[in-house]
């Protein structure tokens, strides 16, 4: 990478450095859990001051893409910590109690992507996706159903057995098995009614009002890699907005 090759006129210098760091992460130059080079080396590489380099790194740390370990350096973040999990999992009991969900795979298939899935995941019209449903329980309560679609091109070896038997969170599973790091999500909230399938899975009456969380998840450089629709029973649980 040549010095300042991403530095376009009018772009703040620290932001250009940040984009260069994201490009290096997207290319696999540094992988999950790996330390990035020391700040002085990166500053020299990009031809900028330590202060400019540090401002770019600070933003990536605040976005949980990188993580600093005192006395050890700065590392590519993983999805193994509570901090990362609860950044993306925003359902908690009404008394404020947070816990990891218990997950059960309900359905799994490979299918041709619908037009909407192609739009959401920026796929060509002839693309295929893996389409699956998870049932999530909290505190032994059946709380939500996740309907998830991911591009086959990025998850080519995904199968029902590995997905159903995973021992980690889903985003950690993506990271460990496919090198896909989720670094951002964008969500829209609305209300829906439980259809017969969802009602049966959640053990509620058909047409019960549910919270619908429509989420697209992104990896580096704003590339969409997952489309998820969550139907949540909010009788005892609530959605916590981002800070």
pLDDT tens figures, 157-169: 999 999 999 988 8
Per-residue pLDDT band at 68 (split at 50, 70, 90): confident
**pLDDT tens by residue, 170-181:** 998 998 899 898
Top-confidence range, 46-50, 73-77, 179-183, 210-214: 210-214
Same domain, 65 and 139: no
Chain centre to alpha carbon of residue 23: 18
Domain that holds residue 43: 13-76
Q: 44: domain CATH number?
A: 1.10.10.10
Residue 83: the pLDDT is 56
The DSSP-derived string for the chain is --TTTT--TTS-HHHHHHHHHHHHHHTTSS-TTPBPPPHHHHHHHHT--HHHHHHHHHHHHHTTSEEEETTTEEEE--S-SHHHHHHH--EEETTS---PPEEEEEEEEEEEPPHHHHHHHT--TT-EEEEEEEEEEETTEEEEEEEEEEETTTSTT--HHHHHT--S-HHHHHHHHH-----EEEEEEEEEE--HHHHHHHT--TT-EEEEEEEEEEEGGGEEEEEEEEEE--SSEEEPPP-
State how many domains the chain has. 2
Domain boundary among 27, 52, 76: 76
Instruction: Look at the chain and count its residues.
Output: 243
Same domain, 114 and 211: yes
Q: 98: domain CATH number?
A: 3.40.1410.10
Same domain, 150 and 225: yes
Same domain, 154 and 58: no
Domain boundary among 22, 52, 76: 76
Same domain, 139 and 208: yes
Same domain, 187 and 233: yes
Same domain, 139 and 36: no
Same domain, 64 and 165: no
Same domain, 224 and 147: yes
Supply the pTM of this predicted model. Answer: 0.78
Structural domain contains residue 8: no
**pLDDT tens by residue, 191-223:** 999 999 999 999 999 999 999 999 999 998 899
How many Å apart are CA 111 and CA 128, to the nearest integer? 6
**pLDDT tens by residue, 89-112:** 889 999 999 888 999 999 999 999
Structural domain contains residue 148: yes
- Residue 48 CB-density burial (10 A; 0-12 exposed, 13-18 middle, 19+ buried): buried
Same domain, 148 and 220: yes
How many Å apart are CA 104 and CA 150, to the nearest integer? 18
Residue 2: the pLDDT is 45
Closest CA to 216 of 169, 149, 123, 156: 149
Same domain, 206 and 139: yes
Give the count of beta carbons closer than 10 Å to the beta carbon of residue 49. 12
């Amino acid at each position: 990478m040549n010095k300042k090759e991403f530095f376009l006129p009018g772009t703040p210098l620290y932001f250009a450095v940040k984009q260069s760091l994201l490009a290096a992460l997207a290319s696999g130059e540094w992988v999950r859990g790996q330390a990035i080079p020391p700040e002085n080396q990166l500053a020299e590489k990009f031809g900028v001051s330590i202060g400019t380099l540090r401002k770019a790194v600070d933003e990536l740390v605040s976005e949980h893409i990188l993580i600093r370990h005192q006395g050890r350096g700065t590392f590519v973040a993983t999805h193994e910590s509570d901090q990362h999990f609860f950044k993306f999992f925003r359902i908690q009991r009404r008394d404020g109690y947070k816990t990891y969900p218990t997950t059960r795979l309900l359905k799994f298939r490979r299918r041709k992507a619908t037009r909407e899935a192609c739009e959401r995941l920026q796929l060509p019209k002839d693309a295929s996706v893996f389409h699956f449903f998870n049932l999530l329980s909290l505190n032994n309560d059946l709380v939500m159903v996740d309907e998830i679609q991911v591009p086959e091109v990025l998850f080519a070896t995904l199968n029902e057995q590995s997905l159903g038997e995973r021992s980690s969170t889903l985003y950690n599973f993506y990271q460990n098995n496919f090198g896909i790091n989720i670094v951002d999500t964008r969500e829209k909230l609305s209300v829906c009614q439980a259809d017969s399938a969802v009602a049966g899975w959640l053990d509620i009456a058909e047409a019960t009002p549910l919270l619908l969380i429509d989420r697209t998840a992104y990896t580096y450089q704003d590339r969409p890699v997952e489309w998820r629709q969550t139907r949540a029973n909010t009788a005892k649980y609530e959605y916590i907005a981002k800070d």
